[in-house]
């Protein structure tokens, strides 16, 4: 049963990461959910998505930059 839950968590995380990567202005709720689902091995992928989003913008989102900083502190 735990294996199924792990698989579901990983699939949901992948889905949300894809949505955040594709959305021009990703939902804070989606990013909150990603952060709840993150395991240590998932952090680099999420950080890469946030860095890509930040690098694409002339004036990046301050909350998004704060999320990235928080990842470096954990």
The CA distances from residue 11 to 4, 7, 19, 20, 21, in Å, are: 10, 6, 12, 14, 15
The pLDDT value given to residue 6: 77
State the residue range of the domain holding 36: 2-73
User: Residues 9-62: pLDDT tens digits?
Assistant: 999 999 999 999 999 999 999 999 999 999 999 999 999 999 999 999 999 999
Find, among 58, 67, 70, the residue nearest to 26 by Cα: 67
Residue 1: pLDDT above 50? no
What is the number of domains present in the chain?
A: 1
Between 1 and 11, whose confidence is greater? 11
Model pTM? Answer: 0.88
Classify residue 1 by its DSSP letter. -
């Amino acid at each position: 049963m735990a294996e199924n839950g792990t698989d579901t968590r990983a699939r949901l995380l992948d889905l949300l990461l894809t949505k955040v990567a594709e959305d021009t202005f990703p939902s804070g709720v989606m990013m909150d959910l990603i952060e709840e689902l993150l395991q240590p091995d998932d952090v680099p992928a999420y950080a890469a998505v946030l860095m890509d989003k930040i690098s694409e913008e002339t004036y990046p989102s301050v909350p998004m930059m704060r999320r990235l900083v928080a990842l470096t502190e954990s």
